[in-house]
Amino acid sequence: MRFTIQREVLLKPLQQVVGVVERRQTLPVLANLLVVASTQQVSFTGTDLEVEMAATTQADQVEVGEITIPARKLFDICRALPDGSKIEFKLVGERVEVKSGRSRFTLATLPASEFPVIENIELIERVSLPEATLKGLMDRTAFAMAQQDVRYYLNGLLLDLREQALRSVATDGHRLAVVETPLHAGVAAKRQILIPRKGVLELQGLFEAGDGVVELEFGRAHLRVKRGDVTFTSKLIDGRFPDYEAVVPIGADKEVRVEREALRGALQRAAILSNEKYRGVKLEVSPNKLRVIAHNPEQEEAVEEIEAKTSVTELSVGFNVNYLLDALNALGGEEVLMCLRDGNSSCLLRLPESELARHVIMPLRL
């Protein structure tokens, strides 16, 4: 195996795949990247047995072959070389020689046959949509995923494939984020898949807000995402996601319409004096007015008052201020609509003109 490549051309695919490689592995080969040289191009694949990322790029003077090379060392060497460097790779026996100008590095290898590659994913459904749309779906819901929850099915993101729409859903049991986008091409059947947390984070890092198109391939136990020269494959969480539609409050007829930035600013300021452990703030609604109140064990108090379009006479309910801020950041828009029922029910946050993005936050006893 042999090929020559420009440093900048090599660095991008390496950056895309090296994040998948864990620093601590159960198998030595998992610390390596699979490098496959074929006609005029080279592919790099990294995996941790749960998530796999493969990127392909053009190269010169290619001699066909395949081998695995230590991922971090290869990435660090390429990153440390000067801009504009030309890098030559050559397999000599069981070592790979990396040459650039007066620099020469010899790296240990492991056989390509030892590298675990996910090949067949038993394709069930294929969906294409704009890259910016899928990025927006994930960015506006992923923050609500649980972290290391014993309810393992919450430590991921649900993609809910419906007849004419795709929904992205995440919850940690205290809040819920649901964002929907219409699909122009219908699908054969409704389907739900659960992507593990690491897979979601890798996808978020991969996507750009460009005008490209990504292809989603739904398998029985895997999801494959194809974007240009990059292919991402992830095992799915084998678990049943809760019935999230049952969490959306019914009969939340007390509506409060406020400027998003005004509410965000009031919450950020009030949060300074909230209890550091529970992060609770109280929202008091009265006609055309919303008050945000925070207390802490030192008997300190913050009171913020903002204008609101509401006819609610009197309502008081507590929430975790961080959850409110996360939802407001994800929603965007100039104004937001808060839908409440009573002082013990959850809050539904959405944009006034659309129900495609919904955020539900459980109440907090203060």
- Decide if pLDDT at 12 tops 80: yes
Q: For 150-206, what is the HEC assignment?
A: CCHHHCEEEEEECCCEEEEEEECCCEEEEEEEECCCCCCCCEEEEEEHHHHHHHHHH
- Decide if pLDDT at 146 tops 90: yes
| Per-residue pLDDT at 356 | 94
Grade residue 26 by pLDDT with cuts at 50, 70 and 90. Answer: confident
Residue where the block lists tokens 């419906």: 162
Ranges in the chain annotated CATH 3.10.150.10: 2-114, 123-245, 248-361
- Decide if pLDDT at 134 tops 80: yes
CATH H-level, domain 248-361: superfamily = DNA Polymerase III, subunit A, domain 2 (3.10.150.10)
Distance separating alpha carbons of residues 7 and 104, to the nearest angstrom: 14
Residue 266 CA, chain-centre distance (Å), reads: 28
- Decide if pLDDT at 154 tops 90: yes
Grade residue 193 by pLDDT with cuts at 50, 70 and 90. Answer: very high
Architecture of domain 123-245: Roll (3.10)
| Per-residue pLDDT at 348 | 96
Return the minimum-mean-pLDDT range out of 116-120, 139-143, 347-351: 116-120
Read off the pTM: 0.90
| Per-residue pLDDT at 143 | 96
In this structure, what token pair is assigned to residue 260?
């998003």
| Mean local confidence (pLDDT), 122-150 | 93
User: Cβ distance 333 to 146 under 8 Å?
Assistant: no
Grade residue 365 by pLDDT with cuts at 50, 70 and 90. Answer: confident
User: Cβ distance 195 to 223 under 8 Å?
Assistant: yes
| Mean local confidence (pLDDT), 134-162 | 94
| Per-residue pLDDT at 336 | 97
| Per-residue pLDDT at 185 | 77
| Per-residue pLDDT at 59 | 95
Decide: helix, strand or coil at residue 317: strand
| Per-residue pLDDT at 179 | 97
User: Cβ distance 73 to 114 under 8 Å?
Assistant: no
Distance separating alpha carbons of residues 87 and 50, to the nearest angstrom: 31
| Per-residue pLDDT at 24 | 86
| Per-residue pLDDT at 251 | 84
Q: What would you report as the CA-atom Rg of the chain, rounded to the nearest whole angstrom?
A: 25
- Decide if pLDDT at 186 tops 80: no
| Mean local confidence (pLDDT), 277-298 | 95
Fold topology of 2-114: DNA Polymerase III; Chain A, domain 2 (3.10.150)
Bridge partners of residue 177, in order along the sequence:
170, 359
pLDDT digits (tens, 9 = 90+) for 64-94: 999 999 999 999 999 999 999 999 999 999 9
Q: Using CB atoms within 10 Å of the CB of residue 119, give its burial: 0 to 12 exposed, 13 to 18 middle, 19+ buried.
A: exposed
Specify the DSSP element, H or E, that contains 25: none
Residue where the block lists tokens 């002082």: 343
Distance separating alpha carbons of residues 101 and 38, to the nearest angstrom: 25
Distance separating alpha carbons of residues 173 and 195, to the nearest angstrom: 17
* Contacts of range 102-107, beta carbons closer than 8 Å, 24 or more positions apart: 105/77, 107/69, 107/70, 107/73, 107/74
User: Cβ distance 158 to 194 under 8 Å?
Assistant: yes
Phi, psi of 291 (to 5 degrees): -110, 140
Grade residue 39 by pLDDT with cuts at 50, 70 and 90. Answer: confident
**Residue 329 to residues 139, 191, 208, 311, 325: CA-CA distances in angstroms?**
10, 29, 19, 26, 6
Please give the biggest Cα pair distance in the chain. 81
Distance separating alpha carbons of residues 73 and 79, to the nearest angstrom: 10
Phi, psi of 220 (to 5 degrees): -70, -40
- Decide if pLDDT at 300 tops 90: yes
Distance separating alpha carbons of residues 251 and 230, to the nearest angstrom: 46
Q: Which amino acid is at 281?
A: V
| Per-residue pLDDT at 242 | 92
| Per-residue pLDDT at 188 | 75
- Decide if pLDDT at 119 tops 90: no
Decide: helix, strand or coil at residue 7: helix
The overall average pLDDT reported for the chain is: 94
